[in-house]
Structure 1
Amino acid sequence: MVNKLMRRRQLVKVRSGDGSPLRDYRLWQLFARSLFFLELADHDGISHTYAVDVRYLADAKTRKQHDNGEGKAPAALYRNGVQVSRSNVPTAFPVPGGVIEVTTTAFGLKRMHFVSETGAQRALRPHHRSQEGLRARFGQRFPRASAVIGATAVVILVVALAVNILHGVEVLTHSPVIAEKVGTFTSPIRLPTWANATLITAGTLAALERATRLRHNRFLDIVSS
C-alpha cells in the first residue's frame, strides 16, 4: 500500500516531453550523467526502445523551474530517441506494462528498474560508456576481482556505520537530560584525524561503487540515501 501511494505521488510529477532528440553520451559526462535502456513492446506488439537520461548537475533552481513547467528536468524518458516524458527525481515513468522507477542519492543511482503490473522487477541496461556500464563490463571480464571490490565496499560501509553509531550514541548520552536518566557512554573507538578522513574518503568511494551497481540497503547505505 505504501509503495502504491509513493508511486502515485511520483507519477503526478511526470510532465510531457518536449520532443527533443536523445543526445549522444560523451566521455566527459561520466560523473554527471547516467543513461539506461529498455526494450518493451506496446499493446500492439510493436517493440520500442526506451531510454532514461539522468542529469546529476541539475541544481535547485533548475528543479524549481521544471516544477513550474519550465527548464530542464533532472530525468527524462525517451522512446526511440525522442523525449516523451520528463520529471524531477525520484520518479516513476509510465511505460507499456508498468513503470520505470528512478531514484538517485548523493552518490549516484539508487534505482533504475522496470516494475511490471504484476510486480516483477528488472534493472535497465546501462550505456556502455557510462560509469554503470563500465562497472558492469569490468564485472563481466573480471568476476573475481569484481566480487572482492564489492565485498570490500560492504566492509568499509559497515565499519563506517558502526563508528558513526558509536559516536552518535556518545554525543546523545552526553546531553544533560539523557545523562541524568541513563548515564553517559564513551565510544571505545577513537580515530585520529588522518584515520577519520581516510574512513570518510573510503566510505564515499564505497558508496559510489555500490551506486554504479544499483546496490542499495536502507541500513548499510544510510549515509548515501
Structure 2
Amino acid sequence: MFTQKRKYKAGNGRPLKKFRWWQPFSRALFYLPLTNEMGQQMVLAVDVSYWQQFFSNDGKGKAHLYLDGKHYAVSRLPASFPLAGGRIEVASSLFGLKRCHLVTDEGTVQPLIPDPRSAEGRRARLDREHPTLSRWIGVVSLGMVLLPIVFAVPQVIESVTQIPSAAKHFGTFDSPIHLPMWTNIGLGLCAAAGSVERATRLKWNAFLDGSL
C-alpha cells in the first residue's frame, strides 16, 4: 500500500486516541478509508495537535499518520505521506489546517474526512444540514477578514513611509484612516476569528489568511 520512498519517520505503533469533546480547537483528526491491493479494507488517520505548533521550534508542529488505529508514521509539517498511486498532503497555517488531502498520481484531489467531533467535522455537518446558513457564515467570515485589511493597509503604508530610508526612495504617505489602538486590536481579533472559521473548512488564501 505504501511506496518505498519515505520522507517521514516510522511510527511507534501506539494506538490512536479518541477525539475528546474539549479538543475542537486544539486538535485536528481526519480519516481516509482505503482498499489495498488484496481487497482488504483499511483506514488511515491524520492527527495534528495545534498546541504542538506553538511549542515547536519551527512553529509548524508535526502530522501523525495512523494505519487501522496504530501509529504508522510521523512527519514535520508541511507533510507528504506517499501511498501507492498518490500521497496524503498535510499543511497548517496559524489558524488551523489549510490542507489535508489525498492527491493521486493523476492529479485528482480528495479531502480527507474530518472526525465528526472535531471543529472541522462539526463545520462540515453544518454545511450538509444547513447549506444556506453555512454559506452566510462563510460570507460573514470572509468579511471579517477583508474589513480589517481595508483599514489596516493604509495605516501600515503610512508607518512604513515614515522610516527615513523608505521616505527617501518612495516619499511619504498620509493615510486617510487613523484608528485608535483598541479599534485596531479589535479588528485584528475579528480577522483572526474569521480566519479560524475559514480554517475549519480548509479554506486558505495567502493574501487573506497570511503566509503561515
Shared fold by TM > 0.5? yes
Q: CA deviation at 1:192?
A: 2.2
The separation in 2 between residues aligned to 1:165 and 1:196, in whole angstroms, is 11
* Residue identity matched to 1:160: P
Runs of 5+ in structure 2 lacking a partner?
A: none
Match of 1:31 in 2: 25
* Residue identity matched to 2:173: F
Closer, same or farther: CA 32–60 of 1 in aligned 2, 3 Å: closer
Instruction: Give the match's secondary structure for 1:160.
Output: helix
Farther-moved stretch of structure 1 (41-50 vs 111-120): 41-50
Runs of 5+ in structure 1 lacking a partner?
A: 1-10, 65-72
Alignment of 1:128-167 (within 5 A): 128-167=116-155
Closer, same or farther: CA 151–164 of 1 in aligned 2, 3 Å: same
The separation in 2 between residues aligned to 1:12 and 1:161, in whole angstroms, is 41
Match of 2:83 in 1: 95
Match of 1:191 in 2: 179
* Residue identity matched to 1:99: R
Sequence identity, in percent? Answer: 39
Residue 77 (1) aligns with residue 31 (2): no
Contact 1:63 1:74 in 2 (8 A): no
Larger proportion of helix = 1
Residue 14 (1) aligns with residue 18 (2): no
Instruction: Give the match's secondary structure for 1:19.
Output: coil
Q: So what's the TM-score if we normalise by structure 2? A: 0.88
| Cα offsets for 1:169-213 (capped at 9, x unmatched) | 212222223323432101111122332222111111101000000
Match of 1:8 in 2: none
The separation in 2 between residues aligned to 1:58 and 1:156, in whole angstroms, is 27
| Cα offsets for 1:35-91 (capped at 9, x unmatched) | 000112223333311110111222677669xxxxxxxx7321111111111112111
Contact 1:42 1:96 in 2 (8 A): no
Match of 2:96 in 1: 108
Alignment of 1:23-62 (within 5 A): 23-58=17-52
Instruction: Give the match's secondary structure for 2:51.
Output: coil
Runs of 4+ in 1 over 4 A off after TM superposition: 59-64
Closer, same or farther: CA 13–164 of 1 in aligned 2, 3 Å: farther
Instruction: Give the match's secondary structure for 1:58.
Output: helix
The separation in 1 between residues aligned to 2:162 and 2:80, in whole angstroms, is 43
* Residue identity matched to 1:211: A
CA RMSD of aligned residues (A): 2.1
Give the length in aligned residue pairs: 206
The separation in 1 between residues aligned to 2:36 and 2:179, in whole angstroms, is 57
Residue 121 (1) aligns with residue 109 (2): yes
